[in-house]
């Protein structure tokens, strides 16, 4: 046997005879580690830090609780000396020389792993004190050349986190005599760049971010790593998994983003792991004990479906005697809808404050005033912002948001068919919209949870206690350069308050207010393009979607099909729109509105193009009539070419009937717009070849029949009242 083999074998025998810990450095026990941090205020960031520490069973000692912060604003200028003073005083009371101290920031830090991994990596550094490292030097660039060079990794010291043995850290801070507003980073940097002190204390940097990851200057290096039900931040430059993530400097939004996942806050396997924590359930409360909420309703521009908005507000599942309303309307066009709602239902609420367009109040002032209505009311528990363009479909929205027990929380709503929503996942360098990596997944529901975000708008809930404490400023929505909603979110972020959006439930959507004209009587009729989902809910018969499945199509006469198409509201609005326009034809054969100027079978009518509704009506035919045509007339496909679309009026003293005729169409649509025996007597349609009549057309139902050759028909006499029908000659 070779000598080298003998020596190796001897070493193995020795290790077998004695404990393994005598052959390699003994692992530091986790109970020797103490996490020390400074927190003079209990901010949202601090609460997040404590949660992550609790998740991994770290023991944390908090310094400075209740003490006024006098360490300066070191986001923009050097500061932080108060932390060193507090640390020095706390260390003097500690006597255990084997104690390991982790001194770390708390407002912008999360733990990504536990004490075992942290201590193992500390041991592997083979120094008594290990500081976090940074790419950028701060606060004195003139000291750059004095920093020791490193073969690979970050070269500069970061004071936001360090770990070491108690005696060595005591030695390091022993000479601190600075002011609270002096720079802690500069103090530790000068120790590190002094070769004698660095050697005496035995300091090194965590240059490859194995223990600490400072985000400032390194955002492109850090990605989320999902693996085996765990979430870590991975430094792709050094291929390391840091234990502690620090959003130092101007990277607060990035640590908020990472904190949505770390430590295991959200994983692909479990989804959201914390969304059911710290809830404020309302189920155990009597209705009289429900929190008092001020709902702020803001109308800033002409908006479709305002009447429907107030109908939904009434359906909100919350005791109305625990609600106060603050309504701001700067749009004169909507005065009628608002006044109608308040007249009929305002007394249901505990209190109503209304500001109309005559007061000429700016949007920012109105929103500030709404907040102040809640802030100054000691009984107010929450302020619920609800802009008029919000379609709140979930009647339990307010309850759900209150139960989340968060400082500011918004229900996620989106614009139908688009990625536009009421929150931003990230901000650009200029403070405007930027798309976060998870934005699309959240909007499309592939990731479900409660998300810390930098911007919310349109609908959100704010705790009144927050308005009275952290946000006592009256002018939260004011800015010389930002819109009121952006100014509000900027001010919230600057206070260190977190904003959340939840997509744990389906809440609703947000309307498009683009291209909304106010020149008609019922302007919502024109919204089939801009807001097709809301248009359908308002104007299409509630049973339309069941036509094919539930066989709602009837055949009252051969090849004549009868099915529901319009809601009562659609019928009423179309009739009222035509009467408002008022220019009914005389019912004579001469008609300059049509090609050739002569009508063989004239009616008293108004054409859709006369009220600029031709384009919208064609869309209706394509979306809602064509599918039925292709189903009932197999092999026939239509593009719904329509030379004539019009509303006919029958009156006994005007034109009570229509003589037998063929229509100039491949097929005809005839929609009843009002009700027999309620609005008129008589009427109906008779197909002569089959001697088949429909004498009681149902309001909102359409008759569809072939036009030429086979279905010779007549309009039966209207004997009393006024009958209205909408007619389309399709595919001439």
Phi, psi of 579 (to 5 degrees): -65, -35
Burial class of residue 719 (count of CB atoms within 10 Å of its CB; 0-12, 13-18, 19+): middle
Contact 272, 504 (CB under 8 A): yes
Q: Is 723 a catalytic residue?
A: yes
**Catalytic residue from among 85, 375, 649, 723:** 723
CA gap 391, 224 in Å, rounded = 34
CA gap 279, 502 in Å, rounded = 13
CA gap 345, 502 in Å, rounded = 30
b vs e for 133-160, b when ≥16 Cβ sit within 10 Å of the residue's Cβ? Answer: bbeebbeeeebeeeeeeeeebbebbbbb
SS3 169: helix
Rg (CA), the chain: 36
CA gap 202, 417 in Å, rounded = 60
**Half-sphere CA count of 662, side-chain side, radius 13 A:** 11
Look at the block and give the residue holding tokens 């209705």: 287
CA gap 32, 118 in Å, rounded = 12
Separation of first and last alpha carbons in the chain: 105
Residues 6 or more apart whose Cβ sits within 8 Å of residue 489: 454, 455, 456, 457, 499
CA gap 705, 712 in Å, rounded = 10
Contact 309, 315 (CB under 8 A): no
Sign, CA torsion 398/401/406/409: negative
Q: How many residues does the chain have?
A: 732
SS3 334: helix
Contact 467, 457 (CB under 8 A): no
Token pair recorded at residue 527: 């919204």
Give the residues across from 538 on adjacent strands.
none
Strand ordering across the sheet containing 380-387: 351-355, 323-329, 292-299, 380-387, 459-463, 408-411, 499-502, 450-453
Inter-CA distances, 599 with 589, 687, 728, Å: 5, 21, 15
Q: Where are the alpha helices (DSSP H) in 174-305?
A: 184-193, 195-201, 252-259
Residue 183's nearest CA partner among 217, 159, 154, 148 is 159
Token pair recorded at residue 166: 């108690």
SS3 294: strand
CA gap 586, 447 in Å, rounded = 61
Contact 264, 230 (CB under 8 A): yes
Phi, psi of 176 (to 5 degrees): -70, 120
CA gap 413, 420 in Å, rounded = 9
CA gap 646, 650 in Å, rounded = 13
Cβ count near 653 (within 10 Å): 5
Phi, psi of 336 (to 5 degrees): -65, -45
Positions marked active-site: 723
């Amino acid at each position: 046997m070779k000598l080298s083999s003998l020596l190796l074998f001897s070493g193995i025998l020795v290790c077998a005879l004695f404990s393994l810990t005598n052959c390699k450095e003994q692992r530091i026990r986790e109970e020797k580690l103490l996490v020390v941090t400074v927190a003079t205020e209990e901010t949202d960031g601090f609460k997040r830090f404590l949660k992550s520490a609790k998740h991994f069973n770290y023991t944390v000692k908090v310094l400075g609780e209740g003490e006024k912060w006098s360490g300066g604003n070191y986001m923009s200028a050097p500061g932080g000396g108060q932390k060193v003073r507090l640390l020095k005083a706390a260390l003097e009371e500690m006597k255990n020389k084997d104690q390991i101290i982790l001194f770390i920031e708390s407002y912008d830090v999360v733990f990504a792993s536990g004490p075992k991994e942290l201590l193992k990596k500390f041991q592997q550094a083979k120094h008594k004190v290990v500081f976090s490292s940074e790419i950028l030097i701060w606060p004195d660039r003139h000291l750059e050349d004095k920093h020791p060079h490193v073969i690979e990794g970050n070269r500069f010291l970061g004071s936001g986190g360090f770990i070491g043995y108690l005696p060595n850290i005591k030695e390091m801070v022993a000479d601190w005599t600075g002011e609270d507003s002096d720079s802690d980073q500069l103090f530790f940097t000068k120790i590190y760049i002094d070769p004698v002190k660095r050697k005496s204390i035995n300091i090194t940097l965590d240059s490859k971010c194995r223990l600490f990851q400072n985000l400032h200057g390194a955002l492109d290096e850090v990605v989320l790593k999902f693996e085996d039900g765990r979430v870590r931040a991975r430094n792709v430059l050094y291929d390391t998994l840091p234990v502690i993530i620090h959003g130092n400097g101007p990277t607060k939004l990035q640590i908020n983003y990472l904190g949505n996942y770390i430590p295991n806050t959200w994983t692909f396997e479990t989804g959201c792991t914390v969304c059911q924590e710290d809830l404020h359930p309302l189920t155990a409360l009597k209705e009289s004990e429900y929190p008092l909420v001020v709902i702020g309703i803001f109308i800033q521009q002409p908006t479709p479906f305002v009447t429907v908005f107030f109908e939904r507000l009434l359906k909100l599942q919350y005791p109305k005697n625990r609600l106060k309303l603050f309504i701001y309307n700067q749009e004169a066009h909507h005065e009628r809808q608002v006044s109608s709602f308040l007249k009929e239902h305002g007394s249901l609420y505990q209190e109503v404050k209304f500001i109309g367009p005559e007061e000429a109040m700016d949007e920012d002032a109105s929103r500030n005033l709404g907040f102040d209505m809640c802030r100054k009311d000691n009984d107010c528990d929450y302020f619920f912002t609800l802009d008029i363009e919000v379609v709140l479909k979930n009647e339990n929205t307010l309850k759900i948001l209150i139960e989340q027990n968060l400082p500011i929380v918004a229900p996620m709503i989106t614009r139908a068919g688009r990625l536009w929503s009421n929150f931003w996942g990230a901000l650009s360098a200029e403070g405007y919209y930027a798309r976060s990596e998870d934005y699309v997944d959240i909007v499309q529901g592939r990731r479900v949870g409660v998300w810390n975000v930098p911007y919310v708008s349109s609908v959100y809930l704010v705790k009144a206690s927050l308005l009275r404490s952290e946000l006592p400023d009256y002018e939260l929505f004011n800015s010389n350069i930002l819109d009121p909603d952006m100014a509000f979110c900027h001010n919230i972020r600057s206070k260190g308050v977190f904003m959340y959006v939840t997509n744990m439930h389906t809440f609703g959507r947000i309307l498009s207010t683009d291209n909304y004209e106010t020149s008609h009587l019922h302007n919502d009729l024109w919204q089939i393009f801009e807001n097709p989902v809301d248009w359908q809910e308002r104007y299409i018969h509630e049973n339309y979607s069941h036509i094919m499945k539930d066989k709602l199509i009837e055949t009252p006469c051969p090849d004549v099909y009868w099915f529901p198409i319009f809601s009562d509201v659609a019928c009423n609005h179309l009739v009222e729109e035509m009467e408002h326009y008022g220019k009914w034809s005389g019912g004579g054969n001469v008609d300059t509105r049509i090609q050739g100027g002569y009508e063989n079978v004239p009616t008293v009518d108004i054409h859709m193009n006369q009220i600029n509704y031709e384009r919208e009506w064609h869309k209706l035919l394509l979306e809602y009539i064509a599918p039925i045509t292709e189903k009932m007339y197999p092999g026939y496909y239509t593009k719904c070419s329509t030379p004539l679309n019009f509303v006919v009026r029958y009156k006994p003293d005007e034109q009570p009937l229509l003589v037998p005729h063929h229509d100039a169409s491949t097929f005809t649509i005839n929609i009843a717009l009002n009700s027999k025996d309620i609005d008129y007597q008589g009427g109906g349609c008779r197909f002569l070849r089959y001697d088949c009549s429909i004498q009681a057309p149902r309001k909102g139902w359409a008759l569809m029949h072939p036009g030429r050759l086979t279905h010779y028909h007549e309009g039966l006499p209207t004997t009393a009242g006024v009958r209205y029908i909408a007619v389309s000659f399709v595919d001439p």
